Amino acid sequence: MDQLDELLTCRLDFRRRKAEPCSIVIFGASGDLTARKLIPALYHLFTEKQLPDPVRIIGFARREKSSEAWRAELKAGVEAFSRTKRVDGRLWEAFATCIEYCQGEFSDAQAYAKLAGQIAGFEHAALKQNLLFYLSTSPSQFAEVAEHLSKAGLLKRETTEPGWQRVVVEKPFGHDLLSAQKLNTELTRFAHEKQIFRIDHYLGKETVQNILMFRFSNAIFEQLWTRQSVDHIQITVSEKIGVGSRGGYYEEAGALRDMVQNHLLQVLALIAMEPPVSLEAESIRDEKVKLLRSIRPLHSSQVATSIVRGQYTAGEVDGQPRVGYREENKVRPGTNVETFVAARFLVDNWRWSGVPFYLRTGKNLPLSASEVRIQFRPTPNVLFAAQCGTKLDANAITLRLQPNEGITLRFNGKVPGTSLQIRPVRMHFSYDSEFGAYTPEAYERLLLEAIEGDATLFIRRDEVETAWSIIDPIREGWSNRSLSNDEFYSAGTWGTVAAEQLLAASGHTWRNPQPVS
């Protein structure tokens, strides 16, 4: 960074709330998410002095174990899963003094009394009053835990007493609109909406947060961000892995619930929303909800023409053999659960009327990558376009969300030489080259924001419910319909032929994410 860049760096941290001393209670403390994501994130925040001081972390789970044993498990987890892998012995010792375990069953009132006793034993007043409850549990347990916390006097709804309590809940938030509404009703009996922080870890990613900066801090791009300039938009979230050991979970979820309802619709909302009136959480979330509500509702009878599903069969990814989904562990033989979805949505508002938004996600695809491609309209059919026909590539901006995070502008240029040739060239911004390889994990940002009480990166009640109202008719359209032959794709390919046809109907083609060397 040169001196001018340094001078022009606009620091917005003054907006940040202060992280006040607090106690963080993780329900589901012996689970996979705690070991792989939550504790590594808290450890990094601690080593970077971003956690409040003092802070306490209490793990609550069913298994009997001592605090020492839990700390040893967590250390092994940080060594295995954290982004640095390395654990500094001295820093870990300091971090470990903030951690304790509370054994208990979620349904047992006595366990919450014990937890309350543990918290009451902390010396610093703020550690007893400021409480962050992280529900890393199955959604069916959210309400039970919240009710017990409330009865134990640990979670207070709209109190005037000093301190705060917040509840962070993991995805999936319900499995359809009705269940999400029920969950919301149950949770809001014990916590006000402003105390509830619904996680979609995609929103914690740097590149996803950068969508708003890119759009609203650059005059040149935002002017192009309309139906006048944009031909269509493609959002792809592809995964190279199959369902692996998560077959049981996936049988209940499928790609539509697991990825489209949350991550893909969230990215779509950020890409397409109107500028918010301010950077306050509610202004941003208002605009996201407005955008989701502008997505043209599909009747279940229209699903076949706008949404394509698929399921992988045996194949190869990177030369490695893969079994078909129906042969995976804990998967029902003959199951119709989708491992791939391609969708065409229309956004009925002034800015986007008539512009298709194509969303696609799937497992066992050739590459793991998330990207958004803004495909601009072709040039008028004169001059070079008249000569080249469809070979003249239309301009595009690609936001690569992960991996090889960056932004690419694609335009045409003259191939040097005496002959007259035009071909696409790229201007590329890479996060790594510009800022170095440091990219904090999404959970670091999300945990910190929850501690600070900033809800911008969390999903509001009306947002989650609107997203389900988009998804439910699609599921209805598929229900009781077995997968047909053209709804299968071989592992290692980019999905079903029908997904290609979905775009071909409007003269479009999928632009697959490319490996970056």
Ligand X SMILES: NC(=O)c1ccc[n+]([C@@H]2O[C@H](COP(=O)([O-])OP(=O)(O)OC[C@H]3O[C@@H](n4cnc5c(N)ncnc54)[C@H](OP(=O)(O)O)[C@@H]3O)[C@@H](O)[C@H]2O)c1
Which residues belong to the active site? Answer: 263
Taking the least distance from each CB to ligand X, the nearer of 107 and 217 is 107
Q: Which among 244, 391, 204 is positioned nearest to 329, based on CA atoms?
A: 244
Considering only residues 143 to 182 of the shown chain, the ones binding ligand X according to CB under 6 A are 170-171
Contact criterion met (CB below 8 Å) for 166 and 187 = no
Q: Which string of x and - marks every residue 254-273 that binds ligand X (by CB under 6 A)?
A: --------------------
Contact criterion met (CB below 8 Å) for 19 and 53 = no
Nearest approach, Cβ of 496 to ligand X (angstroms)? 26
Helix axis angle for 39-47 and 442-452, nearest 10°, is 70
Figure out which of the listed residues 70, 95, 106, 478 binds ligand X, where binding follows CB under 6 A. 106
Figure out which of the listed residues 19, 23, 25, 30 binds ligand X, where binding follows CB under 6 A. 30
Q: Which residue has the tokens 């508002």?
A: 349
Tell whether residue 458 is a contact of ligand X (CB under 6 A): no
Nearest approach, Cβ of 26 to ligand X (angstroms)? 9
Figure out which of the listed residues 110, 138, 283, 305 binds ligand X, where binding follows CB under 6 A. 138
Which residues sit opposite 197 in a β-bridge? Answer: 168
Nearest approach, Cβ of 196 to ligand X (angstroms)? 15
Tell me how far apart the alpha carbons of residues 470 and 295 are, in angstroms, rounded to a whole number. 8
Work out the angle at residue 183's Cα, subtended by the Cα atoms of residues 179 and 185, and round it to the nearest 5 degrees: 115
- The window from 24-32, 278-286, 387-395, 462-470 that contacts ligand X (CB under 6 A) reads 24-32
Q: Is 317 helix (H, G, I), strand (E, B) or coil?
A: strand
Taking each continuous run of H as one helix and of E as one strand, the counts in the chain are 20, 17
Tell whether residue 28 is a contact of ligand X (CB under 6 A): yes
- The window from 59-67, 232-240, 255-263, 366-374 that contacts ligand X (CB under 6 A) reads 59-67
Nearest approach, Cβ of 38 to ligand X (angstroms)? 9
Please give the backbone phi and psi of residue 503, each rounded to the nearest 5 degrees, phi first.
Answer: -85, -35
**Alpha-carbon distances of 20 from 24, 130, 489, rounded to whole Å:** 12, 8, 51
Tell whether residue 32 is a contact of ligand X (CB under 6 A): yes
Q: Which among 491, 490, 240 is positioned nearest to 367, based on CA atoms?
A: 240
Please give the backbone phi and psi of residue 27, each rounded to the nearest 5 degrees, phi first.
Answer: -90, 130
Tell whether residue 33 is a contact of ligand X (CB under 6 A): yes
For ligand X (CB under 6 A), the number of binding residues is: 19
- The window from 57-65, 218-226, 499-507, 509-517 that contacts ligand X (CB under 6 A) reads 57-65
Tell me how far apart the alpha carbons of residues 180 and 461 are, in angstroms, rounded to a whole number. 9
What the block records as the tokens of 108 is 């047992």
CA 88 to chain centre: 30
Tell whether residue 431 is a contact of ligand X (CB under 6 A): no
Taking the least distance from each CB to ligand X, the nearer of 25 and 499 is 25
Tell whether residue 97 is a contact of ligand X (CB under 6 A): no
Figure out which of the listed residues 20, 31, 54, 511 binds ligand X, where binding follows CB under 6 A. 31
Nearest approach, Cβ of 277 to ligand X (angstroms)? 32
Burial class (CB in 10 A: 0-12, 13-18, 19+), 6: exposed
Tell me how far apart the alpha carbons of residues 379 and 412 are, in angstroms, rounded to a whole number. 11
Nearest approach, Cβ of 105 to ligand X (angstroms)? 4
Tell whether residue 29 is a contact of ligand X (CB under 6 A): yes
- The window from 133-141, 146-154, 213-221, 360-368 that contacts ligand X (CB under 6 A) reads 133-141
Taking the least distance from each CB to ligand X, the nearer of 56 and 175 is 175
Tell me how far apart the alpha carbons of residues 380 and 17 are, in angstroms, rounded to a whole number. 50
- Please report, as ranges, the residues that interact with ligand X according to CB under 6 A: 28-34, 36, 61-63, 105-106, 136-139, 170-171
